[in-house]
Amino acid sequence: MEHSPSAAWIAQAADAAQRQGSGDLLRVVLIVMVLGCVLTAWFLLRGYTRKDD
């Protein structure tokens, strides 16, 4: 397979991503997990409000 100079940065980025590890993926998973917990708590606790009308 022949590599063109314009596609060389793609190969370098893929190589750098493999060396970096799962840091970005772990960060995204943690953020989604925290937001999911907050939204779940809000959904469950919103039914416990008192409406004294």
Total domains in the chain come to 1
CB 3 within 8 Å of CB 11? yes
Q: Is the pLDDT of residue 11 over 80?
A: no
Write down the pLDDT at residue 37: 97
Of 25 and 40, which is predicted with more confidence?
40
- Domain carrying residue 30: 21-47
Question: If you ran DSSP here, which 8-state letter would residue 14 be given?
Answer: H
From the centroid of its chain, how far is CA 17? 16
Q: pTM score > 0.95 for this model?
A: no
Write down the pLDDT at residue 2: 57
Q: Write phi, then psi, for 37 (nearest 5 degrees).
A: -65, -40
Write down the pLDDT at residue 15: 73
Domain assignment present for 11: no
Mean pLDDT of all residues belonging to the chain: 78
Domain assignment present for 3: no
